[in-house]
């Protein structure tokens, strides 16, 4: 009987240790953080939409420049000629220019906001996919505002996520 106590005690200690280890590690969550401002700036989709918005802005500026040239031409005629029809044409052109400028500014703001929403919607989906695929319990996002004031470099997933979202966007990953 005494010969069985030693191995049974060892077995009990081993089982207890294993149970404690499993209980301890079960509560440990896989966690990482990401600098969302950096991911946003490096996201290829954002860069693509930024270029599209720039082209739209250039077209709008071209239209305004053309209107301004026409306005300046009529202004020169008004300054050398007292005709009332030219003064009226100048006032109409001024009004049209101001209205067009306001409309273009409003359109640019609306388009920029729409693009921003599209970018964040796509990024959020990719981030969720990354967290699930990497089996992270917590993926903490920062926006460079000091939300996380410290953390080990081993928890910073920013570079890995930048690579992941751009590969997903380019269709290199499913």
Number of domains in the chain: 1
- Is 50's pLDDT higher than 90? yes
10 domain residue, yes or no: no
- Main-chain phi, psi angles of 27, to 5 degrees: -85, -5
Q: What is the pLDDT of residue 18?
A: 45
Residue 59 lies in a domain: yes
Residue 167 pLDDT: 92
Whether 18 is covered by a domain: the verdict is no
Query: Which pLDDT does position 126 carry in this prediction?
Result: 92
Residue 35 is assigned to a structural domain of this protein = yes
Question: Residues near 43 by Cβ (< 8 Å), separated by ≥ 6?
Answer: 119, 123, 162, 165, 166, 169
| Under 8 Å between Cβ of 87 and 78 | yes
pTM above threshold 0.85: no
Task: Grade residue 21 by pLDDT with cuts at 50, 70 and 90.
Answer: very low
Q: Is the pLDDT of residue 156 over 70?
A: yes
**What per-residue confidence (pLDDT) applies to 153?**
72
CATH number at residue 89: 3.30.910
Give the model confidence (pLDDT) of 81-138 as tens digits: 878 888 999 999 999 999 999 999 999 999 999 999 999 999 999 998 888 887 787 8
- At 152 the pLDDT is 67
DSSP letter for each residue of the chain: -HHHHHHHHHHHHHHHHHHHHHHHHHTPPPEEEEEHHHHHHH-HHHHHHHHHHHHHHHHHHHHHHHHHHHHHHHHHHHHH---HHHHHHHHHHHHHHHHHHHHHHHHHHHHHHHHHHHHHHHHHHHHHHHHHHTT-SEEEEE-SSSSS----GGGB-HHHHHHHHHHHHTTS--
119 occurs within a structural domain: yes
Inform me whether the pLDDT recorded for 154 exceeds 90. no
pLDDT in the model for residue 11: 40
Task: Sort strands 138-142 and 31-35 into parallel, antiparallel or unpaired.
Answer: parallel
User: Residue 84: which domain range?
Assistant: 29-169
Q: For residue 9, count CB atoms less than 10 angstroms from its CB and return exposed for 0-12, middle for 13-18, buried for 19 or more.
A: exposed
């Amino acid at each position: 009987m005494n010969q069985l106590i030693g191995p049974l005690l060892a077995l009990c200690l081993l089982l207890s240790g294993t149970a404690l280890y499993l209980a301890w590690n079960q509560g440990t969550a896989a966690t990482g953080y990401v600098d969302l401002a950096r991911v946003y700036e490096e996201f290829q989709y954002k860069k693509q939409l930024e270029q599209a918005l720039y082209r739209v802005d250039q077209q709008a500026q071209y239209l305004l420049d053309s209107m301004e040239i026409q306005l300046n031409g009529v202004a020169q005629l008004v300054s050398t000629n007292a005709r009332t029809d030219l003064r009226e044409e100048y006032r109409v052109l001024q009004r049209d220019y101001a209205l067009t400028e306001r409309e273009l500014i409003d359109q640019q703001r609306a388009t920029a906001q729409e693009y921003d929403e599209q970018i964040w919607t796509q990024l959020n989906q990719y981030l969720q996919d990354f967290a699930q695929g990497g089996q992270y319990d917590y993926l903490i996002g920062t926006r460079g505002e000091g939300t996380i004031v410290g953390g080990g470099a081993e928890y910073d997933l920013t570079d890995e996520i930048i690579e992941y979202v751009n590969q997903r966007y380019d269709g290199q990953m499913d």
